[in-house]
Each structure stands twice: as structure tokens, then as C-alpha cells.
Amino acid sequence: MSTLSEVAARAGVTSATVSNVLRNRGRVGDETRQRVLDAVAALGYRPHLAARALAEGRAPTIALMVSSIANPFYPEFALAVERAARISGRFVIICNTNQDPLAGRAYLEQIAGTLSEGVLVMNANLDFDDLHQTEARGTPVVLCMWERPLDPPGLPCVAVDFRRAGELAARHLLELGHRQIVAIVGSKRAGIHAARYEGFVDALRAAGVKLPRTCVRHAPDTIEGGYAAARELLELHPATTAIFASNDLPALGSIHAAFDLRRDVPADLSVIGITDIQLARQSRPPLTTVQVPTVEAAEMAVSLLRELIERPPHTHQAARRGGRAAHEPPRVRVASEPTLIVRGSTSAPRRVRG
Amino acid sequence: MSTLSEVAARAGVTSATVSNVLRNRGRVGDETRQRVLDAVAALGYRPHLAARALAEGRAPTIALMVSSIANPFYPEFALAVERAARISGRFVIICNTNQDPLAGRAYLEQIAGTLSEGVLVMNANLDFDDLHQTEARGTPVVLCMWERPLDPPGLPCVAVDFRRAGELAARHLLELGHRQIVAIVGSKRAGIHAARYEGFVDALRAAGVKLPRTCVRHAPDTIEGGYAAARELLELHPATTAIFASNDLPALGSIHAAFDLRRDVPADLSVIGITDIQLARQSRPPLTTVQVPTVEAAEMAVSLLRELIERPPHTHQAARRGGRAAHEPPRVRVASEPTLIVRGSTSAPRRVRG
């Protein structure tokens, strides 16, 4: 592979001139420009983006903070982020916080602004103060899939209407005729699944169906967490005909619990989740769920972060002073609405069908 | 956060001296050293590893090339790699090749040796010539989980005895009394699953059990691929009592196929896989499989890569000249043996049980 200086030597110019031509910067005469481009073509020179960035003291990467890449949703999201980032010539560094705000802080301190030009945060249980500090030091931060479009955080974000997702799940169960419903919420009461749960409960209430406290379990957002919660709920409320889980993993765990309790899904028990991870399609029976626009949200988040990284420096200063420059991009973008995906895990309850 | 120059000012030394103390380099008197360490403690200064590396023109990252992070095995492996890399102060850039050697080459050209100090390759369908070129340009490359310890490639690697894994799977089915066995191989004939398949077939042959061609399907290494292959095999050979799949995902697909064909697993059909991904535990029934040492292999690969990155420069030159320095680390390391994990997806066939 030929080098910048070989190109410069052949074109009879300095390396700086070659660099200016390739980056459309500086003043270079037309004839010189053509000589450089001819030399580039003749030598098969490919400008080495990463090396160039490093020479400028900048690394063309973005950090993606996730709480655990072992949860299958995150790799799917990371894949979408990586594809979108590659288009803008950037690489993705995956930062697992393992749900630990201290681990998240360590990552932010170590790479934000140096190794990474910007930070995407995907449910990483980070301390908001840490994120604000990162932003204040001049490194853009974007929250991905913020759960409440109408209640934006003080940071740039891509919002998804998860309240609506919960509402769609409730309406589906109600339309099938379910009234004996229990719910598994994959986070703490005020946690990231609260909006989905609210949407679900409000839609039930609007239809005159109550969800007593004993019919709701907060559980870890995993297959195992959903499994244990579903077993408890089904023992406590044997007449249950449908389980709503605020995420696909606990919904899949609920299907496993039904299997072990010899309850047929969907004949004896309907199960619905939210997200539509790949496993939802692959389970037996395949999971009915409310699909959220994962890929779109990833693309929007990368695009917003890119705009924040590439905006002219004086707007950074304005932002740091607490002001907002005229051409600063909007800080909240809302992705498409969630949509119901009906698969094999839901049907009308027996007594209604029979 | 205080800076290096604040520490230097407080200790009454130059920034270079502070840097030397923190890195145990250069000659610094004991008294000066203590003054620097006192200033570091007083100011709560944390040396900023990434910034320091960038200032030296190097980025403390390693690239992990995987064929698709959407396959759940890769995130599990990536997580283990990330943990091990963090201990040596490095970050991991995930590079999805999507099974495309050209995408892999683009990654290698863009980041190897600049943005990444070394490259880990995990079944990324890369062109070996590209990897050799990367190594020849001075960037260490380590293959993770090479499938044939006795037949090492011309690159540093961590090997796992996958032949043994296939053998253990066969012995388990034979001991249970299975003779009507079919096999699903999750790669092409000469592909990365060939060693497992050979081990399986050889163990059957040693027990006098043949595996005719019509009892073997090569299928995509996915749940869907295993599902389709299992349906075909079970239609063609209805007397089948056990399915061996060379990986857990097609094994899980086989369980789904049995479900759809109303064949009970394990009463009507035993299913065994290889790897022991998280989903193996989480399926219904849970999957019997041969566990390979994923976390150990990830740690060994990072450790080998680290040694190659950090070895003194003259050994790089020796390696580039085709020689091998005396203290160069061994290029092939073998991880622990695979082990059988018996779960609910295998049992004796009906007729044997009586």
C-alpha cells in the first residue's frame, strides 16, 4: 500500500498539499489538484481515515454504553449502530456497564472525548450527572430509545413511545376477550419499563379491567426472571388467561413456565411481550409482541450524535455557556410508533372460544 | 478532574517527570518520585490512559472480528474478551464482517495498526492472506477458538479440541442406546464445523454405527437452519431417535421442529448440540450439549495478543524477517477440554427403555 509521502513525491508537492486536496481543505490550484489526484490514482493510494484521525489526535470511534451485551437485545441494537456508524467512517467501541453506574463512569472518564468522539447510551444505568459532565467537557452524548417522548431528559435523545407499546399490548389482549390478566414488569417501579406498564394499565382501566397489585410482579429483565415471576403469578391466580410482560425476555420465560406447568400456550394461556427481538420469532410458539423500531432508533441516534460531533466549534462553546446556537440540531427526535405483531402465543381464552 | 500539569506544578517538576513516575520509566530520584506521588494523591489525579496513548499516536484498543454479532454466541464471547481486555487497559472495537471477506479486509485496512493495536479473529470468514498481510505490517493477529489443536494455522491462535466435542456428543448418544441417529452440520463440508463432525462420525464408527450420507444435512448455523434440516431429516428417516447438531443454535431449531411435528423431546427424540450458549440452558426442554471453554479461550486469546503487542520491537523485526526471537511467546495455546453437559433434551430411546 502506497503512502501519503509517495503520492506527494510523485505529484511534486508536499504531504500537506496532498492532504489538503484529499480533504477539500486549504487553497490548492486546479493544476496542482489534478496532479495530486493523478498520483493518487496511479499509486492506488487509499487515504487511511483512521490513521489520519489519530495523527490529528482524534480517534474516529463512538462509544456505545449498554448495560449488558449478553442480553440479546443489545447486540441487535449494537449491530444497527455499527452499520450506521460505519457509513460516517466511525467505529463502535462497546462499553458494558453490567448495570453498574461506577463501571459506566469509569468508561466515560477513560474514553469520552479522547478515544471516542461521542457517546451513545442505551439503558446503561448511568448516573445522569456523569453524562452531563461528559457533555459539559465537550463530548456529545445521545440517549437511545428514551421511553417518554413527551417528557424528554436534559440530554439529546431519540425517543420511542413505549407507553403506546404497552397500550397496544393491552388492547390486543382485551380484543381477544381476556379479563384475567397478570403483568410482569422487567424493571423496578420507577425504572425504564414504567412507561410501558403505565400504557398497559391505563388501556385496561379504560376498558373497565382492573389490575390488582397481587397480579403484578417486578422481575429481572431476563428469561429466568420472567419464568420465576410467571410461576408465582400462575400459582397465586390459577384462573389467569393472559400474561403481559414489559419485555420479550420475561415473556419467553413465561412461555417456559407454562410449558413446565403443562399449560398450553396459547390455548390455556396467552403471552405477549414488547420489543420483537430475534428470539421472539424463534420461540415455540412464536411470541406475539409489540415491535419497537430498533434499527430506525439506532440510525437516528447515530445521525444525531454525528451532527453534534461535527457541528462547528463555536456552537460547542455556546452549548457550554448554557446557550443554544441557531443551527444546533433538535435535541429530541421521536422514532416511528410501535406496532403489534401477532404470532402464535396469543389467542382468545378457552371459555370465550367455547 | 485535575491535569498532569497541575500535578507537575504542585510537585515542582516537569510534566515529563510526572509521566515517567506514573509509568515507571526514566530515572527519577526517590525523593522526587515521592513528591510526585504525594501531589497525585493530594489532587486526586487519575492518569488518563486513553488520552496518554492517543498523545503517543496509539489507540489502546483491540479489534474483535466476528462474522455476526447477532448470533448469540458472539456477544457472549465478546463480553469475555471485553472483560479480559479491560484488565490490560484496552478497549474492544467490535467488527462485524457479516461473513463477507471483503468487509473483513476493509476493517483490517482501516484500523489494524492504527486504531487497534492488535486483532482477534473469531470465525469471521476472513481471507488468510489478509491476516498474514496485517501481521507482516506489524500488527499482531490471534485466531480465537481454532478448531484443530493438532493442525495449527500459520498464525498465533488459541485452539479448542472440537473434534473431542463431537466425540463426546456421539458417546453420550451411544451410551443412551441410540442407533438411529441423524446429524446437522452448521457449516459447509470443509468449514469450521468439520472437526466436530469428524469426531462425531469417528466415535460412531468405532461403535459400529454408520451414518449414511442421507442422514447428514449441512445447514446454516442458525435456529432456522437447524429447524429446516431437522424437518427434512425426520421426514426422510421417521425412525430417527436422536439428532446431533454441530452447534447449539441448529440443535435448538431441531427441538422446535420436533415441537411442530408433535414429537416429544426427549421421549420421542433426543437432541444434542455443541458449545453451551446461554440459550441452551434457557430452552424448553433445556439442551444437552458439549460445553466448550468460551470464557477461558477469550482470556487466553487476549493474553496472547497482549504479549504479542507488548513484546520488544526487535522481536517484531525478527518476526517480519521470518525469524522467531528466543523469547517470543508460543503461537498456539490449547484451551481446556470440552465437557458434556447433560440436560433435559436427551434420554434413552423408547424401545430401549422398554
pLDDT digits (tens, 9 = 90+) for A247-300: 999 999 999 999 999 999 999 999 999 999 989 998 889 999 999 999 999 999
Put simply, the answer to whether A94 touches B74 (Cβ < 8 Å) is no
Q: Do residues B100 and B116 share a domain?
A: yes
Closest approach of chain A CAs to the CA of B85, in angstroms?
Answer: 12
The average pLDDT across A190-195 equals: 84
Q: Residue B329 gets which letter from DSSP?
A: P
How far does A210 lie from chain B, in Å, by closest CA? 32
Q: What is the mean pLDDT of residues B138-157?
A: 91
Q: In the prediction, which pLDDT does A4 show?
A: 74
Is A214 a member of any domain?
Answer: yes
Chain-centre distance for alpha carbon B52? 30
Q: Residue B75's pLDDT is what?
A: 86
Same-domain status, A104 and A9: no
Task: Look over chain B and give the mean of its residue pLDDT values, rounded to a whole number.
Answer: 86
Candidate from A7-11, A188-192, B129-133, B327-331 with smallest mean pLDDT:
B327-331
- pLDDT tens digits, A21-71: 776 667 788 888 888 888 877 776 665 556 666 666 667 889 999 987 768
pLDDT higher than 70, residue B257:
yes
- Residue A52 within a domain: no
The answer on pLDDT for B47 being more than 50 is: yes
pLDDT of B52 strictly over 80: no
pLDDT in tens, B101-129: 877 888 888 788 778 899 999 977 788 88
Between B76 and B26, the more confident residue is B76
Q: How far apart are CA A245 and CA B50, in angstroms?
A: 41
Instruction: For the sheet with A339-341, list strands across it.
Output: A216-218, A181-185, A242-245, A270-275, A288-291, A339-341
| Ordered DSSP codes for B120-135 | EEES----HHHHHHHH
User: Do A213 and A124 lie in a common domain?
Assistant: no
Is residue B152 assigned to a domain? no
Is there a contact between A141 and A119 (Cβ–Cβ < 8 Å)?
Answer: yes
- Using a pLDDT cut of 90, give the percent of chain A over it: 52
Tell me the sheet residues that pair with A96. Answer: A66
Residues B230 and B253 in one domain: yes
Is pLDDT above 70 for B352? no
Regarding whether A94 and A213 lie in a shared domain, the answer is no
At A182 the pLDDT is 98
Q: Is the pLDDT of residue A354 over 50?
A: no
Helices (H), chain B: 4-11, 15-22, 30-43, 49-55, 73-87, 101-111, 128-136, 162-176, 194-206, 223-236, 248-260, 278-282, 294-310, 313-320, 350-353
Give A75-128 as a DSSP string. Answer: HHHHHHHHHHHHHTT-EEEEEE-TT-HHHHHHHHHHHBTTTBSEEEEES----H
pLDDT of A197-246, one tens digit each?
A: 999 999 999 999 999 999 999 999 999 999 999 999 999 999 999 999 99
How many Å apart are CA B189 and CA A115, to the nearest integer? 42
Q: Does residue B56 lie within any of the structural domains?
A: no
pLDDT band of residue B59 (cuts 50, 70, 90) is confident
Mean pLDDT along residues B320-348: 80
CA-nearest residue to A134 within chain B is B1
Supply the pLDDT for residue A48: 59
Residue written as grid cell 456508524: A85
Return d(Cα B306, Cα B87) in angstroms, integer: 11
- Distance between B303 CA and the closest CA of chain A, angstroms: 19
A253 with A263, same domain: the answer is yes
Considering the domain architecture, whether residues A181 and A103 belong to the same structural domain is answered as: no
CATH classification at residue B9:
1.10.260.40
Residue B178 in contact with residue B211, Cβ under 8 Å?
no
Reported as a pLDDT band with limits 50, 70 and 90, residue B354 is very low
- In this predicted model, which residue has the larger pLDDT, B149 or B124? B149
Inside any domain, residue A145: no
Confidence of residue B51 (pLDDT cuts 50, 70, 90): low
Q: If you measure CA to CA, which chain A residue comes closest to B103?
A: A86
If one counts every other C-beta atom within 10 angstroms of the C-beta of residue A332, the result is 16
Evaluate if residue B241 carries a pLDDT over 60: yes
CB pair distance less than 8 Å for A79 and B61: no
- Flag whether A125 is in a domain: yes
**B349 and B277 in a common domain:** yes
How close, in Å, is residue A254 to chain B by CA atoms? 11
Neighboring chain A residues of B48 at a CB cutoff of 8 Å: 109-110, 114
Average pLDDT over residues A130-157: 90
Answer yes or no: do A103 and A200 share one domain.
Answer: no
| In the predicted structure, residue A329 carries a pLDDT above the cut 60 | no
B54 falls in which pLDDT band (50, 70, 90)? low
Task: Find, among A277, A250, A262, the residue nearest to A343 by Cα.
Answer: A277
> Is A111 in Cβ contact with B94 (below 8 Å)?
no
State yes or no: pLDDT of B353 exceeds 70: no
Chain B residues touching A110 at Cβ < 8 A: 48-50, 91
* CA–CA separation, A17 and A5 (whole Å): 10
Q: Is A43 buried (19+), middle (13-18) or exposed (0-12) by CB count in 10 A? A: middle
Whether residue B279 has pLDDT greater than 70: yes
pLDDT tens profile B69-78: 778 888 889 8
Contact between residue B123 and residue B135 where contact means Cβ atoms under 8 Å apart = no
Do the Cβ atoms of B269 and B243 come closer than 8 Å? yes
pLDDT(B321) > 80: no
The domain total for chain A is 3
User: Among residues of chain A, what percentage have pLDDT more than 70?
Assistant: 87
| A46/B214: higher pLDDT | B214
In a domain, B147, yes or no: no
Among the residue ranges A34-43, A311-320, B6-15, B292-301, the one predicted with the least confidence is A311-320
Chain-chain contact of A91 with B111 (C-beta, under 8 angstroms): yes
Lowest-confidence range among A118-132, A274-288, B156-170? A118-132
Residue numbers of the domain that contains A199? 162-293+339-353
Q: Is residue B39 domain-shared with residue B183, that is, in the same domain? A: no
With a cut of 90, say whether residue B14 has pLDDT above it: no
Residues of B in contact with A294 (CB under 8 A): none
Which chain B residues contact residue A72 at CB under 8 A? 72, 75
- Residue A110's pLDDT band (cuts 50, 70, 90): confident
CB A112 within 8 A of CB A104: no
- Band (pLDDT 50/70/90 cuts) for residue B7 is confident
Q: What is the largest CA-CA distance in chain B?
A: 87
pLDDT tier for residue B42 given thresholds of 50, 70 and 90: confident
Q: Are B173 and B270 in contact (CB under 8 A)?
A: yes
DSSP string for A257-287: HHHHTT--TTTT-EEEEEE--HHHHHSSSPP
Q: Rounded CA gap, B319 and B312, in Å?
A: 11
Closest chain B CA to residue A62 = B93
Supply the CATH number for residue B226's domain.
3.40.50.2300
> Are both A135 and A198 inside the same structural domain?
no
Q: Which pLDDT score, from 0 to 100, does residue B97 have?
A: 83
More confident residue, B313 or B176: B176
**Set of chain A residues whose Cβ sits within 8 Å of the Cβ of B230:** none
Q: State whether B169 and B279 are in the same domain.
A: yes
Does a structural domain hold residue B148?
no
Question: Alpha-carbon Rg of chain B, whole angstroms?
Answer: 25
- How far lies A354's CA from each of A172, A175, A348, in Å? 19, 16, 10
Q: Encode B69-113 in three state secondary structure.
A: CCCCHHHHHHHHHHHHHHHCCCEEEEEECCCCHHHHHHHHHHHEC
Q: How far apart are CA B288 and CA B291, in angstroms?
A: 9
What is the pLDDT, as a whole number, of residue A152? 85
| For chain B, percent of residues with pLDDT exceeding 70 | 87
